[in-house]
Structure 1
């Protein structure tokens, strides 16, 4: 008699891709136009530093019950894009997905954790020290399985995917327990003139794009756009349905939930 298979562990809450994008018009065959979602240029962001969105990202990814941590899954390049003095980012479980899961990347991540813990201890005194934790995995599903096991043990609360493009694409190909109800928390970024309806001076130049276009997200059989009130419940703070200005750009936070 065959033994019953062990059920696959699942995450406590739906997997959430958190990303900032800007619309880029692409002309395909003939005059057909498609709106792509740009996320990068030359290995960095295509728009000026947006302090309000960076603060929003930090609040959302760190907000969890006191006894738990949120996890952030990222590729090697995304991890290395964080200044060395800040990585791994505090008060979150940093999960680095790389083919070099047992070699130099793992060694460097472990050294980063040890260095930050030593620095925190030196200046801590009576202060509550930041939580520092990171792990390295050879694949996205392996990382999610490890996090699901920790979630079952009341250790991990929310799991976010923060980039880059290959990790986003792999996440969107997930099926089964990890892919069910997958969410996208997206900060849309445009030049201020576009949002206000005035004449604009063009789009941001991008060479890296989110795997989905606006056309894909508008497919009502596959994706549902959440209301601002619903997104507010996702993130634990009020999210405005309107565009807001920050320097030379305007931003708006939107959410999507996968239906199939």
Structure 2
């Protein structure tokens, strides 16, 4: 059975990036991301892929699916798809959407679950995660830490895609 999960770290004001970089660094968040996504396809936009450190491109231990319409994009070790829907069709079981802004916005209508690291505070940024509509998404777990909280949302049954 397919399951599509959005995984994201976002500040209280929705910021997820500034100038192609993540504006914070929390080791526990990166460890959680790796632990959750290892062995599963990760769907991302081209800009997100290009923002990864070159030593982590493609993300090791995961099938990297990059969304782009650019005929010039050619990267060894990645699967290229022209749309999120094509990428979702390509995936067989559990898959993760890992960014960026446009992919998250579109992915909200397809995802079954959101794994959110809610970073405490507001940050300057130019890239944002959409507001979570609590009539569509139910918060099922929260793990509060000093500088952030790990939060899991599941799609409410009446709103299944």
- TM-score with structure 2 length normalisation? 0.89
Aligned to 1:143: 87
Shift of 1:211: 1.6
Shift of 1:251: 1.5
Aligned to 1:70: 40
Aligned to 1:65: none
1:41 aligns with 2:11: no
Whole-Å Cα distance in 2 between the matches of residues 61 and 99 of structure 1? 25
Deviations 1:166-203 (A, max 9, x none): 000111234xxxx5xx1110001115xxxxxxxxxxx3
Whole-Å Cα distance in 2 between the matches of residues 20 and 227 of structure 1? 16
Shift of 1:82: 1.1
Aligned to 1:227: 141
> What is the CA RMSD across the aligned residues, in angstroms?
1.7
Larger strand proportion, structure 1 or 2?
A: 2
Whole-Å Cα distance in 2 between the matches of residues 88 and 43 of structure 1? 17
Aligned to 2:129: 210
Aligned to 2:11: 22
Query: Which ranges of structure 1 fall in alignment gaps of 5 or more residues?
Result: 1-11, 25-36, 63-68, 114-133, 152-156, 192-202, 229-240
Shift of 1:208: 1.8
- TM-score with structure 1 length normalisation? 0.57
Name the structure, 1 or 2, with higher relative contact order (CA <8 Å, separation 6+). 2
Whole-Å Cα distance in 1 between the matches of residues 69 and 109 of structure 2? 18
Shift of 1:14: 2.1
Aligned to 1:173: 109
Query: Which ranges of structure 2 fall in alignment gaps of 5 or more residues?
Result: none
1:104 aligns with 2:23: no
Q: Where does 1:108-257 land on structure 2 (aligned, <5 Å)?
A: 109-110=75-76, 113=77, 134-147=78-91, 151=92, 157-174=93-110, 179=111, 182-191=112-121, 203-212=122-131, 216-217=132-133, 219=134, 221-228=135-142, 241=143, 243-245=144-146, 250-257=147-154
Change (3 A) 1:81 1:253: same
Runs of 4+ in 1 over 6 A off after TM superposition: none
Whole-Å Cα distance in 2 between the matches of residues 163 and 136 of structure 1? 15
Larger helix proportion, structure 1 or 2?
A: 1
